[in-house]
């Protein structure tokens, strides 16, 4: 993973930056991160801690994108209101396409529809069944009580993910670190990579569109696909109603990002940006992104559905009214 030296320039104080509007291009965007995790899924920080960190990093517009859940959104929304930040209701949905696990970020400016909430219940159940299957497989590979170990690592009743099993493998001495645990047991094609429980790509894109949201292919460069295969993915995604893809996800090679921008432009997909931040202390922080190239790709925040998200916040005439409890 190469870290560009120029990345320090992205921490300019909010007051030095032009406010984000629908007209802000991808290469000029600052203060925005539309891919972040909290302890509602496999992130380490609570939604409140995460939003505080985003604020400290000078971010003004964020989306909380926990895996297959909206459980952290209400808490994050309250904290964003406290800081005068904009939050998009969102989630990173697991699905499958041609035997591969694909992640689709659901940006839900209108919040979830009733049907979307029901779909999330289904995904949570799929995650439970998958965790049981992963545990069975890892037990055969020598990890006793795999499910209980993963649950203890999660430290809450939240749905389990592969990172919990990775840590369990490390703690049991079966892998040197989490990376090694993925490489040997949990990564694509390994025994612990159970994907048969996820719905089809077209299905989850349909849920998002039905809820008035924008569907975004998450980290398109991280599936180990050829460019041609990615064309096919984008075609299937667009055919199902998908509208966008992440042009930049954390750190990316400059030439590869440029090529991806051409591919998004070709498919007329909107472009999104996100760090995919999970925990402090690693290479990534909220807002840590390789620069986007100049391109013809329209930013996802220029999508009509996201117009309110980038409307500048009116300075309130009274004290921070957003922090006050609203009538219930
Ligand atoms: P799951 O949603 O349970 O399939 O887990 C996927 C998550 O595992 C991703 O969102 C990452 O947080 C993490 N992950 C995936 N691959 C790796 C890897 N090679 N090393 C470390 N963490 C990974
Ligand atoms: Mn994750
Ligand atoms: Mn992902
Ligand atoms: Mn993610």
Taken in order of first residue, the domains within the chain and their CATH numbers are: 7-115+200-310 (3.20.20.140), 123-186 (1.10.150.650)
Model-level pTM?
0.91
The pLDDT value recorded for residue 196 is 81
How confident is the model over 63-98, as pLDDT tens digits? 999 999 999 999 999 999 999 999 999 999 999 999
Q: Which single residue is written with the structure tokens 């569907």?
A: 215
Q: How confident is the model at residue 316 (pLDDT cuts 50, 70, 90)?
A: low
- Residues lying with their CB under 5 A of ligand 4, a single-atom ion: 92, 276
- Structure tokens belonging to residue 110: 């209108």
Ligand 4: centre distance to CA 67 (Å): 7
The arithmetic mean of pLDDT across residues 31-35, rounded, is 98
How confident is the model over 92-148, as pLDDT tens digits? 999 999 999 999 999 999 999 999 999 999 999 999 999 999 999 999 999 999 999
The pLDDT value recorded for residue 318 is 60
182 Cβ below 6 A of ligand 1: yes
Partners of 67 in beta bridges: 92
178 Cβ below 6 A of ligand 1: yes
CB 7 within 8 A of CB 19: no
The arithmetic mean of pLDDT across residues 161-169, rounded, is 98
Q: Which of ligand 1's atoms lies nearest the C-alpha of 181?
A: 20
Ligand 4: centre distance to CA 66 (Å): 7
Rounded-to-integer distance, Cα 46 and Cα 59, Å:
17
198 Cβ below 6 A of ligand 1: no
Rounded-to-integer distance, Cα 230 and Cα 58, Å:
33
Ligand 2: centre distance to CA 315 (Å): 35
> Is residue 154 classed as helix, strand or coil in its secondary structure?
helix
Partners of 274 in beta bridges: 249
Of residues 10 and 304, more confidently modeled? 304
- Residues lying with their CB under 5 A of ligand 2, a single-atom ion: 42
């Amino acid at each position: 993973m190469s870290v560009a030296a120029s990345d320090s320039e992205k921490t300019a104080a909010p007051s030095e930056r032009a406010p984000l509007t629908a007209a802000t291009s991808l290469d000029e965007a600052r203060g925005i991160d539309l891919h972040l995790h909290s302890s509602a899924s496999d992130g380490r920080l609570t939604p409140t801690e995460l939003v505080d960190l985003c604020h400290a990093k000078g971010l003004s517009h964020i989306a909380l994108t926990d895996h297959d859940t909206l459980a952290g959104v209400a808490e994050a929304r309250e904290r964003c209101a406290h800081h005068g930040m904009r939050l998009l209701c969102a989630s990173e949905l697991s699905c499958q396409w041609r035997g591969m696990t694909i992640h689709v970020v659901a940006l839900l400016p209108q919040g979830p529809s009733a049907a979307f909430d029901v779909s999330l219940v289904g995904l949570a159940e799929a995650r439970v069944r998958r965790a049981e299957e992963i545990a069975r497989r890892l037990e055969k590979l020598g990890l006793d009580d795999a499910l209980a170990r993963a649950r203890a690592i999660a430290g809450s009743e939240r749905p389990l993910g592969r990172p919990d099993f990775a840590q369990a493998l490390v703690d049991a001495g079966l892998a040197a670190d989490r990376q090694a645990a993925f490489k040997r047991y949990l990564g694509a094609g390994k025994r612990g990579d159970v994907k048969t429980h996820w719905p089809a790509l077209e299905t989850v894109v349909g849920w998002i569109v039905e809820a008035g949201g924008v569907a975004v292919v998450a980290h398109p460069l991280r599936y180990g696909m050829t460019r041609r295969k990615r064309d096919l993915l984008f075609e299937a995604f667009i055919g199902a109603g998908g509208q966008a893809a992440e042009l930049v996800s954390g750190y990316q090679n400059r030439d590869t990002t440029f090529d991806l921008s051409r591919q998004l432009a070709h498919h007329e997909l909107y472009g999104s940006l996100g760090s995919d931040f999970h925990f402090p202390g690693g290479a990534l922080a909220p807002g840590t992104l390789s620069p986007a190239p100049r391109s013809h790709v329209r930013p996802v925040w220029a999508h009509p559905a996201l117009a309110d998200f980038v409307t500048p916040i009116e300075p309130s005439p009274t004290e921070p009214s957003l922090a006050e409890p609203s009538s219930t």
